[in-house]
Chains A and B, each alone.
Chain A
């Protein structure tokens, strides 16, 4: 496939829905999600690959959507924070952030939730150190992280309770 300075057709799955669009190769995945699909739950914090607010799952792996081109996601499955709830019911991770007050201004929260989803899939019973290491790519400028760590811990307990 070779495209010269033109748009390219991509097809992917976003939150369970099939999506097809023509995009410029330079369009970032985060802009594709926010502007083309109006999924503004994914936030752009720093735009320099530092803060992790734009984290989404790409084929189950957490990625910074500001550091990927939409064309690279062609053929993939993406989950954004909008895809975490089902039938109007919050996921265990979202519930845990509410229960443990894991946010203040909320700007970093969508990225934290998506990174927590990746972390808990890889390590269902993480230690505090593993949680802190796991969210090291996500910056929060309000909470001081304690309640976020507590939220992820709590989510790990409720998720494991579900699977028992």
Chain B
């Protein structure tokens, strides 16, 4: 299969890339790892007049750490995230999620930045980004800004970034207290998109009270979503099996999956959200040292 023709730009710097996007007036799309975009171009689901390949911009390929935060460059590959000891020590949820993405070849090319910008509701990174309350670091013609994970996804395959902006990195801030995490994903076969995925990050204090709860859901809405009501159910009090079960029930009620011929009915997915949320919460609470 051959994609249609397109103009090809390969800037060496971020500044050059932003200028190209600005001058294209919406005709150009960024090519990152290409693991979603190239199959779409090949099957001609989309046709794009110009591609700006940011694969040679080295400043986007760094993992940086501060005292209490981590920044993953938008062009760091899923494989390099998976293998990064720094990432694993600071945010083991990110490492766990990385292993569930596609297959080894996809992880060798795919990037967290590209996946978030593609904003596929079935992309695993979205749930992780939401559960950890990440921030998207964005550069455009008017300078840089940070977008909170809660306002990043604006609908199916769309984000609140404008067409001349580039995602340069994703920032994650350390969460106080004793932490636990889990990503529970159900897939039809190895490497498939999630039928359902639930990413959980929680923190508890020395008295067992939950001081942080992040629950992100994959494949059950028109974009990756946060199960905010389910988080509230466990936040601010000691976690019990009863509150976990109730939180899982709320997550399954508040999501909005659709019927699909490959991966099952909306009802089935809702059921799985309940199961996965419960499993993920139990695992996360135990890791954080909680007794349930």
Instruction: Check A3/B104 contact, CB under 8 A, given A26-B3, A72-B55, A136-B191.
Output: no
Total interface residues in chain B, CB < 8 Å: 35
Count chain B CB atoms within 10 A of each CB in A1, A25, A28 and give the residue with the most.
Answer: A25
- Compute how far the CA of A3 lies from the CA of B2 in the bound complex, rounded to whole angstroms: 18
With both beta carbons as reference points, the residue of chain B lying nearest to A119 in the complex is identified as B104
Closest chain-A Cβ to B196's Cβ sits at a distance in Å of 19
Closest chain-A Cβ to B96's Cβ sits at a distance in Å of 14
With both beta carbons as reference points, the residue of chain A lying nearest to B104 in the complex is identified as A137
Q: Interface 1/0s, chain A 43-78, versus B by CB < 8 A?
A: 000011100100100100111101111011011000
The answer to whether the Cβ of B7 comes within 8 Å of any Cβ in the partner chain is yes
For the complex, would chain A's binding face be called helix, strand, loop or mixed by DSSP majority?
mixed
- Compute how far the CA of A74 lies from the CA of B109 in the bound complex, rounded to whole angstroms: 15
B104 touches A115 (CB 8 A): yes
The answer to whether the Cβ of A86 comes within 8 Å of any Cβ in the partner chain is no
Chain B residues near A (Cβ < 8 Å): 1-12, 20, 31, 34-35, 38-39, 41-43, 51, 53, 55-56, 79, 102-106, 108-109, 190-191
Instruction: Check A68/B7 contact, CB under 8 A, given A48-B43, A136-B104.
Output: no
Q: A1-B9, A61-B109, A136-B104 are in contact. List 8 more A-B contacts (CB 8 A).
A: A1-B12, A3-B7, A3-B8, A26-B2, A66-B42, A68-B109, A119-B104, A137-B106
Sample (25) of A-B pairs whose CB atoms are under 8 Å apart: A2-B20, A3-B7, A5-B6, A24-B5, A25-B7, A26-B4, A26-B5, A26-B6, A26-B41, A28-B2, A49-B38, A61-B109, A62-B105, A63-B108, A64-B109, A67-B38, A68-B34, A68-B38, A69-B34, A69-B38, A72-B53, A75-B56, A136-B103, A136-B190, A137-B106
- Compute how far the CA of A46 lies from the CA of B273 in the bound complex, rounded to whole angstroms: 32
- Compute how far the CA of A55 lies from the CA of B12 in the bound complex, rounded to whole angstroms: 27
- Compute how far the CA of A137 lies from the CA of B108 in the bound complex, rounded to whole angstroms: 12
Instruction: Check A137/B105 contact, CB under 8 A, given A2-B20, A26-B2, A61-B79.
Output: yes
- Compute how far the CA of A44 lies from the CA of B109 in the bound complex, rounded to whole angstroms: 18
- Compute how far the CA of A26 lies from the CA of B55 in the bound complex, rounded to whole angstroms: 16
User: Chain A contacts of B103 at CB under 8 A?
Assistant: 52, 136-138
B9 touches A67 (CB 8 A): no
- Compute how far the CA of A48 lies from the CA of B191 in the bound complex, rounded to whole angstroms: 14
Q: Interface 1/0s, chain A 87-112, versus B by CB < 8 A?
A: 00000000000000000000000000
Size range of the interface on A?
35 or more
A62 touches B104 (CB 8 A): yes
Closest chain-A Cβ to B54's Cβ sits at a distance in Å of 11
A2 touches B105 (CB 8 A): no
Count chain A CB atoms within 10 A of each CB in B9, B38, B41, B51 and give the residue with the most.
Answer: B38
A4 touches B7 (CB 8 A): yes
The answer to whether the Cβ of A8 comes within 8 Å of any Cβ in the partner chain is yes
User: Chain A contacts of B4 at CB under 8 A?
Assistant: 26
- Compute how far the CA of A163 lies from the CA of B90 in the bound complex, rounded to whole angstroms: 35
B108 touches A62 (CB 8 A): yes
User: Chain A contacts of B51 at CB under 8 A?
Assistant: 25
- Name the one of B41, B104, B106, B190 contacting A118, with C-beta atoms under 8 angstroms: B104
- Compute how far the CA of A44 lies from the CA of B80 in the bound complex, rounded to whole angstroms: 27
A8 touches B34 (CB 8 A): no
Count chain A CB atoms within 10 A of each CB in B9, B79, B108 and give the residue with the most.
Answer: B108
B105 touches A71 (CB 8 A): no
Instruction: Check A134/B104 contact, CB under 8 A, given A3-B9, A67-B39, A72-B55.
Output: yes
- Compute how far the CA of A59 lies from the CA of B236 in the bound complex, rounded to whole angstroms: 49
User: Chain A contacts of B102 at CB under 8 A?
Assistant: 137
